């Protein structure tokens, strides 16, 4: 497991009219500040990869569909250096994924419906503090699968 990555079960409150799904509170132990909340859809069969945020902690939940996150630790001096970790979360396995700064991550829609990812990031998005890498990269030794 990658140092600093957390996977925290989240509560779903059932309701005949439509459930309520928790995500993140100011008082949660994993809360790292509020910069911005935004959504990213991933259509069936698609991937979005790779990126890492220099400063921001990403807090991710998947209220619709199901997503495989792939994380890769290339932080200098990290105790989990060169580790690759997969985390599959979604509406049927509803958990919060916390990714610390400088950990590479990718997302793949693995369900039969489009997925919606919510990211409650600790800083406002700033393109100068995001690094990107192609899906098929020499830098990150990951073999994609369906």
Measured distance CA(24)–CA(96) in Å, rounded: 8
> Taking CB under 8 A as the rule, does residue 64 contact a copy of itself?
yes
> Taking CB under 8 A as the rule, does residue 41 contact a copy of itself?
yes
Among the listed residues 114, 129, 133, 137, the single contact to a copy of itself using CB under 8 A: 114
> Taking CB under 8 A as the rule, does residue 97 contact a copy of itself?
no
> Taking CB under 8 A as the rule, does residue 51 contact a copy of itself?
no
Q: Of the two residues 31 and 83, which places its CB atom closer to a copy of itself in the complex? A: 31
> Taking CB under 8 A as the rule, does residue 37 contact a copy of itself?
yes
3-state class of 52 per DSSP? strand
- CA torsion 51-57-61-67 (nearest 10°) is 20
Cβ neighbors of 109 (< 8 A, separation 6 or more) are 42, 43, 44, 45, 46, 47, 65, 66, 67, 115
Q: In the complex, which residues of this chain contact a copy of itself (CB under 8 A)?
A: 16-27, 34-43, 46-48, 63-64, 109, 114-116, 118, 120, 124-125
């Amino acid at each position: 497991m990658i140092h600093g990555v957390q996977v925290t079960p989240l509560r779903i409150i059932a309701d005949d009219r439509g459930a309520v799904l928790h995500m993140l509170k100011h008082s949660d132990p994993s809360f790292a500040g509020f910069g911005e909340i935004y959504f990213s859809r991933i259509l069936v069969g698609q991937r979005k990869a790779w990126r890492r945020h220099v400063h921001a902690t990403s807090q991710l939940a998947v209220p619709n569909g199901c997503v495989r996150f792939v994380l890769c630790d290339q932080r200098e001096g990290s105790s989990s250096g060169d580790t690759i970790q997969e985390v599959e979360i979604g509406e049927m396995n509803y958990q919060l994924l916390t990714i610390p700064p400088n950990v590479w991550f990718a997302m793949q829609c693995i369900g039969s419906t489009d997925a919606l990812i919510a990211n409650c990031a600790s800083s406002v998005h700033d393109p100068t503090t995001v690094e990107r890498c192609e899906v098929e990269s020499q830098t990150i030794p990951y073999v994609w699968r369906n």
